[in-house]
Every structure is written in structure tokens, then in C-alpha cells.
Structure 1
């Protein structure tokens, strides 16, 4: 049997790139998919592809950054297919600038689409699942968030994007801790793939090869996302996966490092030596992208 047979899935930003690959593979694995994208034509094309392959899907163009409109996405999934099991928060945008040149609008746009967008739709989905759980239903639901290597290590020229993606990584941890009681898991991923957001910036590196393995194809990321959305993934939560080509790993997040305890208040004059010693003892962080 297909791994997501009859599961109802919302994929945001599914009109192209990674979201398109996710939506199509979810449908191929038996899911009923709400293809959300602000580009109506792109969303309809993906729905047509899914239906032509024998799958089930509907298009949705509601704005994930508007709380009330995000509720309509969840409502459409339930009205169309009778339930909801998975939310894949994929939609994104870039407004890259060096920090000294970053405008308020650059900051707000990226925060709204990434961080607020993750909140809005997930909030409505969680309320639906919580009511199901309180009503005695055995909920087996999924939130799948999209962070980035920029959110884990930082990235030159992307302070707004890195801050949003770092926030999403932390959001994932808290969702996993709080929502397990309702039968909801929350995981994230930091994918590397050729999409509308990356193909211009990394055009040479991500260029599609004439033959052989297409390392940066969005389709390489989709199997992880579809598996995380399946019932088989019920025991996995609070994790952030990095995936690139055929490489798959679990990110090793922030943890308390070396510690010195004086047992009393530190003097200002002592702090410098203590910090120098702690830095020498700690494992160096990965370098910020672009340095």
C-alpha cells in the first residue's frame, strides 16, 4: 500500500520547486493534496498533473501570512477531503541584502512569509487536531517545517532570511514538545535544491547536468518529506533534517557547552579570562555561509 494512502495534506508554495515535488509525490503515495500557492495558474498546473496521474488534489490561493485566510486553507482541506493529517510549510521568499543595507520592508516581507506563515496555518491545523484529540479521536498528525542551512549557521547577505529560518528551527522544537499530547509531531528540514529561490543565486553550482544524477533536483528532497508525513513517522518528532542530493543527516542543535562555576558572583575583571578558557574548550561552530 502507498505510504500516505488517504492522508490529507496541505503543501504551501506548491506551485513550483520543492513544493511541487512534494505535492506530486504525496499524491503518488496515495495522499489527497491541497496545492497552495499565490500563483493560481501554477497551482492549477500542479493539480492537473496530479489528476492526470490518477491522484486527488485541489488548488488553493489563500495568503498564508494572513491569519484568517490561513484558516480558509485548512477549511478547504476538510471540506474537500473530510479531514486533515499533514501540513507542509514550504512557501518562502528572499530579499537578500547586507545587513547595513537591509530595509524594514525587506525584513518584514521575509519574516511574514517564512515565520508568520509557518505560524498562521499551523495554528489553525493544531486547533482542529486538538479538538479531535479532546473528542477521543486517535490523532496521527504532522507539521513539517522548512528551515535552512542559513538558519542553522547563518549566511552572509541573508540576515533576515537566516533569522526567520532560525526562528522556524526553534519553533519546531517547541511544537514537538507541546503538541505530542495531541498526537501531533513536528519536524523540520534544511533542504538544498534547485528552486526559484536558489537557481539565480547559485545558477552555476546548481545547473542541471546533461545526464546522470541530478544532485540538486527538488525531487531528491521529496521522499523525506513524504515519509515524515506518513503514519510510519509517528515516533519521530523535534528533529531537523539536512538533505542535499543523496545526503541525509540529522542536525545537531544548540546544547550547553563547557562550563565554569565560580560558586559566587563573577568580577568584571575575571570574565575575560573565563570566557577565553571556555572558548578554547568548546567545539567550534560551523562557519557562517559566505565566510
Structure 2
């Protein structure tokens, strides 16, 4: 078996500007140490990429996005990524730690209110027409301008601009993919999404999550269908497949992956993967 590819992990630098600031912004073409090649890597924080010019592809987990002007790409912590650049890319990158918003809103589920983060059943990107993209750029200019003259209250102004941008992007994403656009839906749905991020390797049974949430399976299925179009079990399976694919990227054996995710044996793991994806783990590994 070939050696597993090394996946570098990049962490946020909170004291880049002196005092702690859990958000940063930069130009893709001038940002120091920004990875723009085929090297597999992942971030431990959130990032939104706004493409103004360029061509090529951006791969996030196994999903490839064509790089075209006015493309917006959303990445969540831990997703494996790489670039294949055909024409020089320019635009903005905005990245932040979850606490930049969580501490202000006193809501650990805040970022789950947006459809584009922690997404594993719909695209992690969208293409905007000119006017929506310009509106996004105007808010980015405001954030960039504040970084140019940081003051004691700058984090409050930057946070308010980021909040406007996230809500606006959520509206655009909902329009592009015809999904729930309101950032307020039933809180148990957000809690379920949050639990999937933390517990998927430990348990893949709907009953386990209904117990953690203290709700019935019928109620959980109802809110999942209402706000995602998927059943609770489908959401579990999509998340599980997403995590398994990350392990396949690193050339782990079927036996290792089976053990990590609680399958009784590798053959059951192989059957499950093929049932959901239409391909075997071995075929998927060859493809990537």
C-alpha cells in the first residue's frame, strides 16, 4: 500500500494584530503563507472564499468546485482541501474562530443556523450574479477598512459587519438551492446538527440522538424533514459518509475504519459505503 498522504492542519493566529482578535481578512493573491496548490490541507477554523478572478478547481473533501468569477466557497473546520490553479486566482478570504461570534451571541449553536456551514448533503459553494456579489464585497471592504485602523471597539464593528454578511449569504444560498432561509428554526434541529459533529464516530443510531436531545424519533424526523429535506437517519448517514471519506483520503484500511466507526466487520462497512455512495471504498480511494 502506498504511503498515506500527509494532511497539514493550519490553526488560527489570534494575536496577529497584538490583542486577541478571532477574525482575519486578506487578499488571496497577497496573503502570506496561504496555500494555493495541490497540497492536501485542512483548517481548524471557518473560512469563506470570494473569487473575483481566476480558473481551476477547489476540492473540499471529495467535492470539486470550478473556480470562476463571483464564486463563494464555504469551509468548515476539519474539511480536507486542495487547489488546482489554471489561471491566477484573486479575491478575498475571510476566516474566523467560532468564538468570535459564539461569545458575543452567547449561543454555541449560532453557526449551525447558517445552511452553508457543516454542510454534507448540499454544495459548499455558490455562484452569485453581479449585484449580490457586489453587496458582499461592500461588507468585506468595511471589514478590511477597520483592520487598517484598529481601535479598542473595532471587534464590535467587525462582528456586526460579519453578522450582516453571514445573514446575507444565507439568503443567497437559500435562493440558489431552494432551502430554508430563516436563521431561526427549531433549536433541536441545530442541537442535532451540533451533536452529529461531535458524536458521529460514537453512535449512528437515531435513538441515541433522540435520547441526548430528549425528544421522540417522530419529532426529530419531522424537524429534520422540515429544515433539511432529509430524515434524521439520512442526515446521520450523510455525516458518517463524509467522515469516512476523510479517512479514505489518508489511506486507512477498511479494518481500521470499521473499528473507528463501530461497524461489526469490514464487509459490513463495505456494504454500507456502497449502498450510500454507489461505489466501494476501494473504488473511491482509487478515484481520489
Please classify the TM superposition score into its range, dividing by the shorter chain length.
under 0.3
Structure 1 or 2, whichever has the larger Rg, is 1
Could you tell me the TM-score, scaled by structure 1's length?
Answer: 0.27
Structure with the higher fraction of residues in strand conformation? 2
TM-score with structure 2 setting the length: 0.27
